[in-house]
Amino acid sequence: MKVMMLVSELEDYTISFVNGVAQHVPVLLGVPRRRYGHLAPWFDPSVDLRLLDWPRHRSPANPRFLFELTRLVRREAPSVIHMLSNSTLWFNLAAPFWRPIPLVTTVHDVELHPGDSDSRVVPRWATNLMARQSDHLVVHGNGLRSLAVTRYAKPLDHVHVLSHPAIQRYADLAKREGMRRRPEDGTFRVLLFGRIFAYKGLETLVEAEALLKGRLPGLRVVIAGRGDDPHEFRPLMGDPSRYDIRNRFIEDIEVAQLFLDADLVVLPYTEASQSGVLNLAAAFGTPVVVTDVGELAATVAPNQLGLIVPAGQPEALADAMLTLSRDADLRARLSGNALAWARGPNAPGAVGEKAADLYRKVVQSCVPS
């Protein structure tokens, strides 16, 4: 068996997932050179990595690219093709020419996130069409599975759950570079990381900080990532001097240091499917506070990775932050649970083993009886 994987974005997810699958079955991965060229060293040597001259969505070079990609598919003759997202517009035209090879597509977000401009680059009809013409779909939780069955009119046994694997490369980078957590100075650092759009609950975090103004004097709120400008919420801040705002792209080495220094990672989302940030925090053994949206609570609760609060309630978020700041033993237990989960059942190799089993079942189901 050989699996061909294609994806145009989602670098951190792709590295973890592909490396995990490659421990169990041969993998050929096709990705854009412009986005993945500098990341090639992070892939397992067993991955057959193809850095392609992959055009942008509006480029007139797309028809030629699809022709060459189809030639690659026919030459390599994979047992299954796995699209690691459904957000490449032009693949809707190419996929019919790849038959009869079974096509699996991962749908990370069955519903669009409000205010997330990145998710609106590709028309909704195009992402829906890619999912509908795929033989099988992969989602990251049972709740998402139910949504996908309805939205894409798929039989239940054609929609499968594979968890988002732990993102380990930043922890590996920190170890390789001999990085250390900054010395303890009485500061309790709370990190909100990633693409900072409306649904990430930035306003809720700012309101929670204001509620803690006199109760948690050592609080430091770090907001790191491009997106909406956190300074717009300055009037709501209890003490603007307690914020470290980095509204920009964060380089890898800085990401590693942010998670090394964080005492707590918060995901106060008002809406979500799942979260790569949660899987990154787990690799560092950092406790989390998440809201009960999407698959967040369903992941955090059974694995005891952190505390769960209702969405849009700054009082509950403030209480959870205060609880964890005062209970070092609780933080240590949650940290140990996170590391055990990231290195055990949610390690890339463990998720990859389940994916390999899925591919075998998909291929077997296509064999004439």
Where are the domains positioned within the chain? 3-165+347-365, 173-343
Q: Can you name the residues that pair with 243 across neighbouring β-strands? A: 221
Closest CA to 188 of 277, 280, 287, 103: 287
- Contact 192/305 with Cβ under 8 angstroms? no
Q: Can you tell me the distance from the alpha carbon of 99 to that of 102, in angstroms, rounded to the nearest whole number?
A: 7
What's phi and psi for 195, nearest 5 deg? -75, 115
CA distances from 324 to 90, 318, 327 (A): 47, 10, 5
Query: Tens of pLDDT along 64-74?
Result: 999 999 999 99
The angle formed by the CA atoms of residues 192, 182 and 275, to the nearest 5 degrees, is 25
Determine the topology of domain 3-165+347-365 in CATH: Rossmann fold (3.40.50)
| CATH code for the domain defined by 173-343 | 3.40.50.2000
Best CA proximity match to 279, nearest among 267, 270, 294: 267
Using the structure block, give the residue that is written with the tokens 């509950």: 316
- The DSSP letter of residue 163 is P
Residue-wise burial string across 224-242, b where 16 or more C-beta atoms lie within 10 A, e elsewhere = bbebbebeebeeebbeeeb
Query: What is the reported pLDDT for 58?
Result: 87
pTM of the model: 0.93
List the chain pLDDT tens, one digit each, 369 residues: 999 999 999 999 999 999 999 999 999 999 999 999 999 999 999 999 999 999 988 899 999 999 999 999 999 999 999 999 988 888 999 999 999 999 999 999 887 765 555 555 677 888 888 999 999 999 999 999 999 999 999 999 999 999 999 999 999 999 999 999 999 889 999 999 998 887 899 999 999 999 998 899 999 999 999 988 899 999 999 999 999 999 999 999 999 999 999 999 999 999 888 899 999 999 999 999 999 998 999 999 999 999 999 999 999 999 999 999 999 999 999 999 999 999 999 999 999 999 999 999 999 987 654
Q: Are 190 and 222 in contact (CB under 8 A)?
A: yes
